[in-house]
Structure 1
């Protein structure tokens, strides 16, 4: 009798576990993507070389090529959804996209709202300064002075680190990185704090108009963001990232956008 009871009890738990696994799969974003036949990606164009528009108006960049590779691996179409930065996390949380692939830095504050996949690249902040300050301002530390005005984009890491490390300086926040860096070019700000890749590219395109202090002074892992409570999708994404980093796909895309400048002539 005890053996029969034990068998029935085990069968009961197995059936519950199977039903639970089935429910999890139905709720998984990965299942939704496969069933729908498209991967919906939220990003915000204007962040060179991660996502921007080319001269034909198409959205291109490092993140875009990674997203294309991911969609191909899923055997689905890629559906890019250009989304303003201040609304990109709300868009994810309200299921307007499946994933954020937009050069997003992992922060504790953001992690309260979303889950992050393993970092796919690590960058940091650098400073662009007015040529008139060359030799005078040698580090971000020198900008921590009320006589200086620093411009950066609203809501990004540049804003957070400026407030933290250069709190004595005046802060000018703008809606886009392009508008913010133009404040320095036009003499309305002394410096621009932003991510190293953007600053390096911008400085190379505007020699004589701006000076790049290229020492990275923060550690910023960038990662894809997904909704909480989805271990199935998280598992796929981490395994996908490990695969493309191991088989050379990632290195090929990285080389295209970070180690050559052939693409610069094709963007707006």
Structure 2
């Protein structure tokens, strides 16, 4: 039930492919990075169009070490892996969970963080929602990003709760 949040750096599988990507990045001076921009503290797209977050800073540091600039490629949880596999970016970052399905298509760098699914609840309700059983009720409303591991978790472990899928995860704080 526990999911791993890796550094979330996906690189092309195979040494020839990885070398080709590295050459492209250093020659063009651009590191294209797929990110959802909706998963604080890892990746967040601000109103002014700039990104911030832990993984954003790491991508910028990586690009700098390669003598390159970052070009951000906006993606969604549903299209993250297909976008990466299609070559829309050189790497993908932003709190990406390691799953078997993703591992069949891409390579993950060493994980940076290990944690599980953690509910975010109002402070006044913290005692009401401490267990899966307390959350898995028809009277409980859940907001999750569409297409990611959080959605899969809800379908598997919280089928009785009312699920609302969103493409914009920061809407949680206003809903």
Alignment of structure 1 residues 107-118 onto 2, 5 Å: 107-118=99-110
1:42 equivalenced with 2:34 (yes/no): yes
Instruction: State yes or no: 1:147 paired with 2:151.
Output: no
Higher relative contact order at CA 8 Å, sep ≥6: structure 1 or structure 2? 2
| Partner-residue secondary structure (3-state), 2:101 | helix
Does the 8 A contact of 2:78 with 2:148 survive in 1? Answer: no
> How many angstroms apart in 2 are the aligned matches of 1:47 and 1:167?
23
| Count of residue pairs brought into register by the alignment | 161
Q: Partner of 1:129: helix, strand, or coil?
A: coil
In structure 2, what is the equivalent of residue 73 of structure 1? 65
Which residue number corresponds to residue 164 of structure 1? 156
Task: Identify the match of residue 85 of structure 2 among 80, 93, 96.
Answer: 93
For residues 36-88 of structure 1, give each alpha carbon's deviation from its aligned partner in whole angstroms, at most 9, with x where no partner exists: 22211111112212222346432222111101111121122222222233222
Larger Rg: 1
Partners of 1:144 and 1:165 within 8 A in 2: yes
Conservation of the 8 A alpha-carbon contact between 1:48 and 1:61 = yes
Moved more, 95-104 or 70-79: 70-79
**Residue 27 (structure 1) shift:** 5.9
Contact 2:33-2:89 within 8 A present in 1 as well? yes
CA distance in 2, matches of 1:134, 1:71: 41
Q: Which moved more, 1:102-111 or 1:117-126?
A: 117-126
Q: Report the counterpart of residue 82 of structure 1 in structure 2.
A: 74
Normalised by the length of structure 1, the TM-score is 0.53
User: 1:150 offset after TM fit, Å?
Assistant: 2.2
Q: Secondary structure at the match of 1:89?
A: helix
Alpha-carbon distance between aligned partners in 1 of 2:55 and 2:19, rounded to the nearest angstrom: 26
Structural RMSD (CA):
2.5
Deviation string, structure 1 residues 107-152 (Cα, Å, up to 9, x no partner): 1121122221111222322112356645333323311223333221
Aligned twin of 2:8: none
Q: Is the 8 A contact 1:44 1:82 kept in 2?
A: yes
The answer for unaligned runs of 5 or more in structure 2 is 1-14
Q: Give the structure 1 partner of residue 4 of structure 2.
A: none
Find the partner of 1:52 among 30, 44, 53: 44
- 5+ long unaligned stretches in structure 1: 1-22, 184-268
Say if 1:134 and 1:77 are closer, same or farther in 2 by CA, change over 3 A: closer
Counterpart CA distance in 2 for 1:26 and 1:152 is 33
Structure 1 distance, partners of 2:19, 2:126, is: 56
Alignment match, 2:112: 120
